Structure 1
Amino acid sequence: MAASGTEHRRQRRLLQPAFHRERIAAAVPAILRTVQEASTSWEPGQTVAVDRVMNELSLTMLAKTLFSANTAAPAADLIRSSLPVLAGGLIVRTLMPEWWTRLPLPGNRRFDRAVHTMSTAIDEAVRSYRADGQDHGDVLSMLLAIRDTDGRPLTDQQIRDQIIGFGLAGVETTGATLAWIFHELGRHPDIEQRVHHEIDTVLGDRPPTHADVPALEYTGRVITETLRLHALWIVMRRTLNPVQLGGTTLPAGAEVLYSAYALHRDPRWFPDPERFDPDRWLPERAHTIPKGAYIPFSAGAHKCIGDALAFTEMTITVAAICRHWRLRPVPGVRVREVARGDVHPNRLPMTTEPRSR
C-alpha cells in the first residue's frame, strides 16, 4: 500500500539508512559477482538477448540486496519469478477502472497469484530472519531492525509492502536502462570508444569498485543521457485534497498523469532532443537545464529513495562488462520502444565480441 503525507515522511525517514553510502558500497561486491557470473559464460560471436539478460541481472542484484542469507534463498527465487508478472500487470491495473481488476480474467488471475506468491515468500523470509536473529547486512535485516522515535518497528505488512515496492521500482527500470545503454553504445562507436578508454584508464586490469563510480565521469554521463532519452512513459498520482497546479484547481480524488518521457524530449530544455549526446551533461551545459526538466527518478518528497543505488548498479554493470566485451548490433534487427510503466526494447539481440586491450 502506498503511503502519503505524515506516514510517508515517517517511513521514508526510517528507510533512508538502507540507502546511505556505506550500505550501497557494501552491496557492490554482490552486484559485481552477479555481473561477472553472467558475462563470463558468454562465448565470442554469441548472440545474446541483451534485454532479457539485463532484466535478469537486475532481478538477481535486487534479490541479493534484499536477502543475502542462505535461508532466504527459496524466498528470493519466488520473488524473482513473481516480479515480472507484477511489473507487467501494474501499468494495466493503473490505467483500467478498479472494477476491471476484480474480473476473473487470465491476466488478473496471474497477477493475483503473483501477489500471493510474493507475499508468502516475503513472510517466510521474515520468519527465517527472526529465527536466526542475525544482521545479514541486507535490506530485510535493516527493515526488521529499524525503530521509530517511540520504539515502534515496522509491521509485517509494512515490511512486505516496502519489499514489493523496492522490487517494482528497482528491477524493470534498471534492467531496461541497462539494455538501452548497450543499445546506444552499439549504435554510437565513437561514444563506446570513449567509455572503453575511460574504463581502461580508471580501472586498468582490476574490476570496478564503489570508489570508482565518481571517477567514471563519462560513463556516468552516458547513463544520465540514457535515462533522459528512455525515461518512464507515464507516472500517476491521485490528489487527496484540492490542489492548485499551474493555475488550475484539481479536486480531491483527481487522477494526475505526467510523462518524463515527453518532458525529456522537449526541445526547449534539450536541444536536438532525439540525439544521444552524453556531453549535454557536462557541468557547463547541464547548468542551463531548469530544475524539474529532468526527472528520471521523479522529484520532490516522492523522489525514488534508491536512485543512488540504481546509478551505482548501472555504473558497475557497464564497467564490468565493457572491460571484456563489446556488444555489437545484429544487422537487420529493428529495435523499437515498447511502453509499459518503463519504455523497454521490443527485443535486443546483440553479438558478443571480446575486447583486446
Structure 2
Amino acid sequence: MTAVAEPAAIPQVPGRLPLIGHAYSMWKNPLEFFQKASAQGPIVKLWLGPKLAYLVSDHEMLYDILVRKAKSFDKGMQFDRARPLLGNGILLSEGDFHRRQRRIMQPAFHHTNIASYLDIMRSAAEDVFGGWEDGQQVTMYNMFYELAVRIVIKALFSTDMAEQDIAEVYRSMPTVISGVERRAAIPPALLDLVPTRSSKEFHAAVARLRAIGTRIVADYRARDIKPSNDLMALLFTSRDEGNELMTDKQIHEEFMTLLTAGSETTPSAMGWTCYLLGKHPDVQERIQAEVDEVFPDGVVTAKGLPKLEYTRRVVHESLRLYPPVWALGRRTAEEVEIGGHLLPARTQVFYSIHAIHHDPKVYDDPERFDPDRWKGERAKQVPRSAFTPFGAGVRNCIGESFAWTEIQAVLATMLARWTLRPVSNAPVPPVAMGALVPGPLPMTVVKRTR
C-alpha cells in the first residue's frame, strides 16, 4: 500500500507576507510567480491571505485532477471570479447541468460542421490579408484578436457583429480578463471595498460586454428560428430531457462564454506561432512550401487541411512553449489524495500548464523550439498528460477542433501570400492575462510571388 503523507510534508513557496500571504506576488507578476513556485517542487503550498492553496506542476498529478479523480474536484476560485461575465455557461457550470449544456452544444462542434466553418474562416482571413501592402508593419496579436472575434461570431452564431461591437470587445475583454485574474489572488470584496479606478473599469467593462450579448440574443430571438446545427439555433430550439427549452438568460451566458474563449485563446496561439516563424525563417519557408504544395492556388480547403502535417507540428510546438491557457485551478470537493498527499475538502488547487509543458523530465531541451519533437516515435514518447493546452477529461475544451481548424486555416491563408519578418530581434516576453499573450507583436509583411 502506498503511504499517504499529510499536507504538512509539502514545501511552502517562499515570500509569504503577513495578512496577504502570496496574493500580492501572484497578482503583480503571475507567470513569474508560478514559474518560481513550480521550481520548489511538483506540489507546493501557497497562501492567499489566510487561505491555504496548492500549486501542482507535475503532469501525472494534473491527470489525476482532470481525469482520474475529476469527480473529487469542482471548478474552483478562478472560475467563480468569472461569473459576473459568464454566469453559468458551459465553462463554469457543473454536474448534470454541464452535461446537459454540452449535449445541446456538441453538434455545432461535430467534425462535419467544423469543415463547413472553414469557408467563413478563410473568407474572413482573406478580407484582412488582402488589404495589406508590401512592407507594411502589422501588429499581429491585435489583428488576430479582431479576426478571431469576427470568425467565432459568424461561424457559430450565423451573424455579423457591428464594427463598434468588435471594437468594444477588443477594448473591454482584456480589462475583464485582467480583473478576473486579479480577483483570483485577492478576494473581490477587498478589491471592491474601495471604488478604485481599476475596480470601476472592471465592472463597467463587464456591463458593456453583457449589453452586447443581450442585444445579439434579442436580435436573434426576433428571427424566424428553425432547427439547425448553427449553435445559436441549437441553443434556442434544443430541449433537455425534461422537454424544457433554454432560457434567454442561459443562452446569453453560453454566448458570452464562447465569445470570451474564442477571442482570447486562438489569437494568442496564432500570435506566438508568428513570433516563432519570424525567429526561425527556415521553419517559415518549410511551412510555405507545404502550403504551396497542398494549396497550389492559395485557396485553403477542408479536404487539404489534414495534409498540413508540418504546419500542425509547428502549431503543436507553439502551444507547448506558449500555452494560451497557461494556468488554471480546481477546488477539492472532498478529501482527496494527490501525489501521495492527502488534501482536505474545499481546498484551492492551482496547476501550471506552462510549467508542465517546460518540464525537462518530459521534454528534451524544453526551451528549444523543435517542431519535429511531434513527429513519429518522438511524439509517442510524450505522455498525454504532459500536453494539455485544451484541458483533458470530461471538461476538455468543447471548441478544440474549431480552434485547430481556425489556427491552421488562418495561418495557411496568410503564409500563402505573405512572409513575416520581425521588426526587432529582441525577445518578446509573454504577458500572463487570461491567456498568455505576446503583446501587440509588430511584424513586417512581405508579399510573396508564387
Q: Secondary structure of the equivalent of 2:260? A: helix
Within the alignment, does 1:8 sit opposite 2:101 as a pair? no
How much is the aligned-residue C-alpha RMSD, in angstroms?
2.0
Deviations 1:183-205 (A, max 9, x none): 11111112111101110000001
1:266 is displaced (CA, Å) by: 0.5
Q: Which amino acid aligns with 2:367?
A: E
Q: Which amino acid aligns with 1:229?
A: L
1:86 is displaced (CA, Å) by: 2.2
Q: Provide the residue aligned with 1:209 in structure 2.
A: 301
* Residue of structure 2 aligned with 1:320, choices 413, 416, 439: 413
Q: Provide the residue aligned with 2:126 in structure 1.
A: 36
Q: Provide the residue aligned with 1:105 in structure 2.
A: 196
Within the alignment, does 1:356 sit opposite 2:445 as a pair? no
Q: Provide the residue aligned with 2:183 in structure 1.
A: 93
**Aligned ranges 1:1-357 → 2 under 5 Å:** 1=88, 2-69=92-159, 73=162, 77=166, 79=169, 81-103=171-193, 104-135=195-226, 138-231=230-323, 232-357=325-450
**Distance in 2 between residues matched to 1:92 and 1:213, nearest whole Å:** 39
1:254 is displaced (CA, Å) by: 1.2
Any conservation in 2 of the 1:336–1:347 contact (CA below 8 Å)?
Answer: no
Q: Secondary structure of the equivalent of 1:249? A: strand
Q: Which runs of 4+ in 1 moved over 6 A?
A: none
1:181 is displaced (CA, Å) by: 0.7
**Distance in 2 between residues matched to 1:24 and 1:161, nearest whole Å:** 22
Q: Secondary structure of the equivalent of 1:48? A: strand
1:81 is displaced (CA, Å) by: 4.7
Structure 1 residues 252 and 55: CA distance shift in structure 2, 3 A: same
Deviations 1:202-259 (A, max 9, x none): 0001410222221111111111111001013211222233332222232232111011
Any conservation in 2 of the 1:60–1:80 contact (CA below 8 Å)?
Answer: no
**Distance in 2 between residues matched to 1:333 and 1:63, nearest whole Å:** 35
1:79 is displaced (CA, Å) by: 4.6
1:80 is displaced (CA, Å) by: 5.2
1:44 is displaced (CA, Å) by: 0.8
Any conservation in 2 of the 1:86–1:114 contact (CA below 8 Å)?
Answer: yes
**Distance in 2 between residues matched to 1:82 and 1:133, nearest whole Å:** 31
Q: Which amino acid aligns with 1:25?
A: A
1:35 is displaced (CA, Å) by: 1.0
**Distance in 2 between residues matched to 1:63 and 1:90, nearest whole Å:** 23
1:46 is displaced (CA, Å) by: 1.0
Structure 1 residues 331 and 102: CA distance shift in structure 2, 3 A: closer
Q: Which amino acid aligns with 2:180?
A: L
1:69 is displaced (CA, Å) by: 3.2
**Distance in 2 between residues matched to 1:201 and 1:308, nearest whole Å:** 24
Q: Secondary structure of the equivalent of 1:308? A: helix
Any conservation in 2 of the 1:25–1:210 contact (CA below 8 Å)?
Answer: yes
Any conservation in 1 of the 2:157–2:230 contact (CA below 8 Å)?
Answer: yes
Greater CA deviation, 158-167 or 41-50?
Answer: 158-167
**Distance in 2 between residues matched to 1:239 and 1:16, nearest whole Å:** 27
Aligned residues: 356
**Distance in 1 between residues matched to 2:329 and 2:315, nearest whole Å:** 25
Q: Secondary structure of the equivalent of 1:257? A: strand
**Distance in 2 between residues matched to 1:141 and 1:88, nearest whole Å:** 32
Deviations 1:130-172 (A, max 9, x none): 2212348632222112211221222223222222221222222
1:40 is displaced (CA, Å) by: 1.1
1:285 is displaced (CA, Å) by: 1.2
What TM-score does the superposition give when structure 2 sets the normalisation length? 0.75
Deviations 1:70-89 (A, max 9, x none): 5x648954555543332332
Greater CA deviation, 116-125 or 261-270?
Answer: 116-125
1:102 is displaced (CA, Å) by: 2.6
**Distance in 2 between residues matched to 1:6 and 1:317, nearest whole Å:** 36
**Distance in 2 between residues matched to 1:131 and 1:74, nearest whole Å:** 21
Q: Which amino acid aligns with 2:389?
A: P
Deviations 1:267-291 (A, max 9, x none): 1111111111111111321111112
Q: Secondary structure of the equivalent of 2:243? A: coil
**Distance in 2 between residues matched to 1:299 and 1:245, nearest whole Å:** 17
1:11 is displaced (CA, Å) by: 1.8
Q: Secondary structure of the equivalent of 1:12? A: helix
Q: Secondary structure of the equivalent of 1:17? A: helix
Any conservation in 2 of the 1:237–1:257 contact (CA below 8 Å)?
Answer: yes
**Distance in 2 between residues matched to 1:260 and 1:331, nearest whole Å:** 28
The structure with the largest alpha-carbon Rg is: 2
- Which sections of structure 2, spanning at least 5 residues, go unmatched? 1-87
Any conservation in 2 of the 1:338–1:346 contact (CA below 8 Å)?
Answer: yes
Q: Which amino acid aligns with 1:105?
A: T
1:333 is displaced (CA, Å) by: 4.2
Deviations 1:291-322 (A, max 9, x none): 20100011111111100000100000000000
